[in-house]
Structure 1
Amino acid sequence: MKDTLTLAGVELGGTKVLVLRAEGATIVDRETIPTTSPEETLGKAATILGAWNAQRPFDALGIGSFGPLRLDRAAADFGRMLPTNKPGWAAADIYGALAGPFACPTGIDTDVNGAALAELRWGAGAKDAVTSNGLCYLTIGTGVGGGFAFNGKAIHGAMHPEVGHISVPRSPGDDFAGNCSFHGDCIEGLVSGPALSARFGMPAHAINGDDPRWEHVVSDIAHLVTTILLTTSARQVLIGGGVGLARAALLDRVRAKVVERLGGYLSYVNAETIGGIVTVPALGELAGPLGTIALALDALEASD
C-alpha cells in the first residue's frame, strides 16, 4: 500500500481550467488551460491527467465544475452540463470526458461546493468547532455561484444550490437591465464580471473604485448575502472569485449594508461580528483547487 495517496483534480471554470496532482492534501503539480470549447478544453485536461496517471496511477479523482450540473448518478445525463449561460457548453459530458479514461473513484460537484468543502476542512471552518458546521462559499467572477458545506458534507437536493440566479430587490435609481441570458437581472446578471463590464462599459478590473455606480453593486451583493444568512443559517459567507477577491474595499461596504438590512433581526450579526461572518476564503485562491482534492478524498472514502 502506498504511504501517500496520489490524487488528481480538475477545477473547471468559465475562463480557465486548473488540472492538479496532489500527494495527500498537498498540491504538487498544476497546469492551467483556457476554457474554450468543451471538446478542446476537456480533451486537453484529460491529456494532462493521462500523462500523470501513466507515471503514478491515481487513487482518486475530483472534478469541480461551473454549473449547472446533473449530479444524480441515477440520471441518464449524470455528469453533464445543464442549460448554461456559457455558449456551447450545454449537455457537455464533463464526467465522461474526465473520469472515463481512469480506473479510480471519481467525485464530481460544482466548483463552489468543492471550495466550500475545502474551506470547511482546511480553511475557515477548521478554526474552531463553532465555524465547522456551516458555511457558504460564494464566488463572484465569470458567474456567480454559491456552495454550502454543513456538518462535513456539501448540500444537494433536486440538484445543487443555484444562488446566482436569485432575484434581488433593485437599488433605487439603478436602470441596468442585467445580462443573464435566462433572467436578465438576477444576481449573476447584475454583479458577475461580464455584468460589471456591461454595466460600467469597461473590464471589471479597470473600474474606478470611486464610481458611484458601485453603490448599486454593493446593494445587490448585500441583498444576496442577507438572503443566504436568513435562509440557510450559514455561520460564515466567504466571498471569493476574481471580483470578490480583488475588491477589498467593496467587501467592507457590503458588510455594512448587510448589518443595515438585517436591522438587528439576527442578533449575532452586528457591526462587531460582521467581519468574521462575511469575509474572504481562508484558503484564498487555493479554495477551489483544494476543493477538487476534497471531492477526490470523498470519492475514495465512498468507494471503501
Structure 2
Amino acid sequence: MLLGSIEAGGTKFIAAVGDEEMNIIDMVTVPTTKPEETMKPIITFFDQYKIDAVGVGSFGPIDVNEGSETYGSITSTPKPFWKDYDFVGGLKEHYNVPIAWTTDVNAAGYAEYVLGKAKETRSCLYLTIGTGIGGGFINQGRILNAYSHPEMGHLLIKRHPDDTFEGNCPFHQNCLEGMASGPAVEKRWGKRGIELAGRSDVWELEAYYLAQALVSYTLVLRPERIILGGGMMKQKQIFHLIREQFERMLKDYVAVPDLESYIQPVGLNDQAGIIGGFLLAKNLCVKQRNL
C-alpha cells in the first residue's frame, strides 16, 4: 500500500508518499502562492508513484460536508487566490483513488490520537498556535464535524485588564487567534515570539489567553487530553504557566486529569500533519477493501 499525504498550510504545502507503517518514502515542500502554481509541482511529485489513496489536511475554512455542492473546497478563507478553490475536485482530475479531506488541525490531531501523545486515550483535543490558531477534537476514533468543522481559533475571549492591544483578527476583535497567535504576539510586542523567549510578561499574557480558551473547551468537550502544537508552543516554558492559569480559572468546577498529563506538547513534532494524512488515507483503503 502506497499512501499520499498533503499538509496544505497558508505559508507552504508539504506533500509526501509513505507506506502503511507511516514511514515517509519521499517528500516535497512548495510555497503557498496561487493554486495553479502551488499544485503543479505537487501533482508532478505524486505522478512519480502509484498511490492507493491520498489524505489532505488543509487550511480553511473548508467544506467537509459530503452532501454539499462545494464539498472538498476551500471556502471563505482570507488567503489571496484560494477562496472557493475546489481542492478535492482538482486532485480527482489526476487520480482515481480515494481522497480523505479534512482540516490541517484535524489531520494533525488524529495523528496525535493514534500515534502521538494522546495514544491510548479515548478523546483528544488538539490545538495549533502559530500563524493562526485552529483546533480539532477526536472522540473514540472519530473526528468531530457537524454542520462543518470547528473553528476553535475564533473563540471569543475576555481581554486581560492590562492589555491594550487592539487584536489582529479582521473578523473579531477579541478572539483567541486575534489575541494569541504568532502574528498577534509580534504586532503587540514588536518582535517575533522566538525573539521574546526571555520575557516572562510575554508568556504570562499568552498563557492567560490560552488557558482561558482551554477552560472553555474543557467545559464544552471534556477531553481526556489536550495537545498543544505550533510554533508558539516551542517555547516550552509556557506549559507551566498555562497549567497554573488553567487551574486558577477552572477553580475545580469539574474534574480533569492531572494537569501534567492533561495539557501536553505534541509528540510527533512537525510530522503530525503528514502522518495524519497517511492515517486517513489508509483508513479509506481499508474501508474500500471491506466493502
TM bin (shorter chain): over 0.9
Asked whether 1:33 is paired with 2:30, we answer: yes
Distance in 2 between residues matched to 1:47 and 1:175, nearest whole Å: 48
CA RMSD, Structure 1 to Structure 2 (Å): 1.5
1:15 is aligned to 2:11: yes
Match of 2:111 in 1: 118
| 1:91 corresponds to 2:79 | no
- Deviations for 1:29-84, whole angstroms, at most 9, x for unmatched residues? 1111122222211222222112x23xxx1111100111110011221111111212
What is the rounded CA distance, in whole Å, between the counterparts of 2:72 and 2:52 in structure 1? Answer: 20
Task: Count the aligned residue pairs.
Answer: 288
Report the counterpart of residue 206 of structure 2 in structure 1.
Answer: 217
Q: How many Å apart are 1:90 and its aligned residue?
A: 1.4
Q: Does 1:140 align with 2:129?
A: yes
- After TM superposition, the structure 1 = structure 2 runs for residues 88-237 of structure 1, keeping only pairs within 5 Å, are 88-126=81-119, 128=120, 131=121, 133-210=122-199, 212-237=201-226
Aligned amino acid, residue 12 of structure 1: A
Per the normalisation by structure 2, the TM-score is 0.94
Structure 2 residue 250 is the aligned partner of structure 1 residue 262:
yes
Identical-residue share of aligned pairs (%)? 33
Q: Alignment partner of 1:8: what SS?
A: strand
Give the distance between the partners of 1:203 and 1:37, measured in 2 at CA: 26
Alignment-mate amino acid for residue 260 of structure 1: R
Unpaired segments ≥5 residues, structure 2: none
* CA shift for structure 1 position 234: 0.6
How much has 1:211 moved relative to structure 2?
5.0
Choose 166-175 or 35-44, whichever is displaced more: 35-44
Letter in 1 for 2:254: L
Paired with 2:179 and 2:78, the residues of 1 have a C-alpha distance of: 14
Shift of 1:195: 1.5
**Cα deviation, residue 302, structure 1:** 3.5
Q: Distance in 2 between matches of 1:180 and 1:298?
A: 36
